[in-house]
Amino acid sequence: MRIYFDVSTLNPQKVTGVGVYMLQLLEHFSKEKDLEVRPAVKISRYKNKKNIESILPSHHAESFLLLKWASDSLYHGPDFKLNLKGFLPRIVTIHDMIVFEEKYNRPEFFLKGIRDMTNVLNSSVDAVIVNSQFTKNQVLKYFPQLEDRLHLTYLGCNRSRMAGQGPSLGLPEKYILFLATLEKRKNVLGVIRAFEALKAQGFEEKLVLAGAWGFGAEEIQRALESSPFKNDIIHLNYVPTEKLSELYQRASVFFFPSWYEGFGIPVLEAMSLGTPVVTSAGGVLEEISGDAASLVDPGSPTEMAAALSRVLTDQAYREALTQKGLKQAPRFTWEKCAQDTVAVYKKVLGRS
């Protein structure tokens, strides 16, 4: 079984959520005896050619076949794109439906995103993989005709990928961690407001914001600059994968009250490393957290501050969250994600 895997949007040197998904699938696919993975188009056509060659065997770059004649083969676009037309069965992964949420997007991105997503999901795609029940429900809300072609494959959590060497991040002794792109839908303003409410009660913890700037950065930067506790807020920008263990494990609490997620890998990563989690009630974050996190209203800085306060001061509650998290995270593995994905491949090719 040959899979033409579209890695055109992958940059192994700066991996974020969807990139983690691609790399983990490729790693686990390499263990499948009945599976051959090739780039969807000639590697020479990719802008990130050198990076792609580092994760796919070099001979695959030169052994590109005319897909028109390929048998027992299919195309998989793991980042919601379909860069290949005709001939082969086609599978696409949808990670979220945020492009349909106008309040989180620039007008031009909102309109282009809807157009691109609609073109993909209204095409003759053979299967659509989604990463959570929440995302599945969102897809069906806008594209109910896809119900028979939707396949749920939960993402995973891999502790070993986060361990590595390198210079220390210079972290404070006590801190609350937020890890994500600093953009509107991640509720960074809510994080700041909740932290300010907590500091007003006399807590000594600092706030570490780890992530590159995204949409809505100007508003977030103004909030940081005007905060009465701005000297207690540290921005680390993008943190390399190999430093994530240090970042999570040294944190007093992982705070992730995002407005909208398709999955939420950081929540499981924090749990897997024994860090208690405060995250949003409802949606996918509650779906993957179960009772292993403190669930809060992301629109209430007061409620969020109270949840943080309890985790920081109630040792029994903190330990209970930690133990529940250590049990919850292993329920989501990349091995299972890869197995479920291969099962979709086989079904599309009529092998199951």
How many domains, the chain?
Answer: 2
Are 6 and 150 in the same domain?
A: yes
Share of the chain above pLDDT 90, in %: 65
Residue 66 confidence (pLDDT): 47
Are 249 and 263 in the same domain?
A: yes
Are 150 and 178 in the same domain?
A: no
Are 117 and 236 in the same domain?
A: no
Are 114 and 222 in the same domain?
A: no
Are 121 and 180 in the same domain?
A: no
Helical spans, DSSP H, in 250-351: 265-272, 283-289, 301-313, 315-328, 334-348
pLDDT tens for each residue of 50-68? 555 656 654 454 444 445 5
Are 127 and 221 in the same domain?
A: no
Output the CA torsion sign for 22, 13, 258, 119. Answer: negative
Output the CA torsion sign for 230, 232, 236, 241. Answer: negative
Are 6 and 133 in the same domain?
A: yes
- Is the pLDDT higher at 289 or at 83? 289
pLDDT tens for each residue of 160-184? 666 655 567 889 999 999 999 999 8
d(CA 36, CA 4): 9
Are 142 and 227 in the same domain?
A: no
- The boundaries of the domain holding residue 340 are 2-156+333-348
- Is the pLDDT higher at 268 or at 67? 268
Q: How far is CA 70 from CA 73, 86, 100, 137, 350, in A?
A: 6, 12, 36, 34, 15
pLDDT tens for each residue of 94-138? 999 988 887 766 667 777 878 888 988 988 899 999 999 999 999
pLDDT tens for each residue of 175-215? 999 999 999 899 999 999 999 999 999 999 999 999 999 88
Are 92 and 53 in the same domain?
A: yes
CATH label of the domain that carries residue 137: 3.40.50.2000
Are 187 and 326 in the same domain?
A: yes
d(CA 229, CA 14): 30
